[in-house]
Chain A
């Protein structure tokens, strides 16, 4: 009787599955929501993982079909038109993109630009013109590469289209997802404006900082705050400096009073701007015409008006003395210290038409990256200030960690949505992300905002001494650049 009962139940269940298939529920082994850079890299990486070969992957993208990205057109146009959204990808990200075959596409077409030197300085440089407190990073290897987001996406979609196991559904915004309480059930995703819903063994949420998947996780706590700042982006033409040995490969970052201002090189003459500033200032900048914007930007990059404030000058002089003292004691490991740094800051001569835009900035971190049959990657799990250019790199690092863990656990015979493997991913990813996020947030707090509690002279002093100290102490400098490279140190 028992046997009969159980075989009847088995039949019923298998029938149930068949019914599910034919009706409005479709099963995929893995469903990835959000086809941004991180989501696409996730799909590619999982499809290339030998242990996961043959698993069906569904990528749900809210936007329209963009797999027609034309690389040749991009290459052939003489007047390079760059998009205003770029990323600084670090070495670990490049390794990931190489492993999925996307980096080869990008580098073969020369659509990436190496950053060989970074020059970071603080506002309120005073008489010294900011040379006192310049922090420079330069490596024999390239520090990072500046690539347009569209190029990364285009290369990833090209790889995705070659993979048989990946299905891409465009115009599919996730409407609702229900996660199971135990591993015995599957996760279900409903797409807006569509009848069908999808069942999956593993749901990967890469749907950005307003993630629907994240809020579906039971007991989720999302820590977040807004910086009260907007990032103004634009593509710029700068005066190229023929004497500079790193011409076209220098990234500048200035910690201005209202927030950091970064100029990232796209080629010899073209740069991408990320200007973090207050809401009011961002709105004011948006109102300006291109010529006025260029003037405002050059003013922002060069010394500011308040530098004749005596207390600031004093702070600058103090910082100058500290940096001289530090230099004296650390000279032996800083032979490039005395190299004359020319043309600080860059001179902007033009802004590309219609390249100006702005977006709000915030901090966010999900306490739980995973749940039963669900994992979050990229901005869905964490959102940071762009001042260190680490946001997308953290996202790509999640991809590396998650695919590693899934690979291991599947090879050990576990289910693809096995909670133990996901928890291992959470531990590894958070161990990597949280220190970087807190570090970036601390830099933002110290350098990026003006407050009324501490007198500006003191903050200037702290900021300048901090920069000088990092510049002189090669250990700290190495630590910072190693951390930013994303590779295990």
Chain B
């Protein structure tokens, strides 16, 4: 692509390399120096005057350092007279903090949006934002790419009995994501609700940390047995409630971010108890911090863990896990970059897998 420079931050060099390989380009040189006090100095190794600049930086375990690096990269391109600066952020950091949690919360995602704009970015390309409304936080155009076509393709090619499967949301907030996927694959869906007030107190053995204590368990009325059944139906277990039917079918548990595995494990165990044949966990961003992967490896209820490569996963983690499958999203980003540069529509990418 003529008049284009693509730079990569240090968060996810592997993905950046895969993207430029697909575009038949090389990464433009950039020198990042970290001072003793952890400040960063950045020097672009090539002129960007009047160029179309793309900067690829995802989140990573050093999330604040990488964010700062991205902001400095954007700003140095801006002060070096780049014509247009597009930040390619496969996993946008802080995107889960997109609303006030009841009282006195900060909307940190909005702060990040403001910071990027102030640094001088003209356009943002990202994937599967935690909420679609976040595009409105930016005063610059945001292209929110979808991993859904990729997920569908993977499921169609790798899961033989997917037509019998049920797509499961592990909480009420993720239902729209799940119904969208189930519509596309023409499958049934179910959802799981963490119900803390209606639950039967879990037996002590089943309490493994994540179950919040029941604060307001109502006493069963004494007049009739039938009423007791209404209050505590059999599918209230461990404070989890399954709405929908999974008997004898494989399940896909789908979410946008896969970080702490506790709920995924609890959900998978519940699904197996309710008669599911197999549980596959699918997520766009596999953050898998600390020993998340090891815990899922140990859990017999989860059979596969499928994520994309938007977030860097350390090679030793990847080797250790027999359940982890990584889908390559680099082609989607490469095509989005190419289309953005050429001024072509990118809506094709919302429904077609590359």
A and B part of one assembly: no
User: Residues on B close to A: CB < 8 A?
Assistant: none
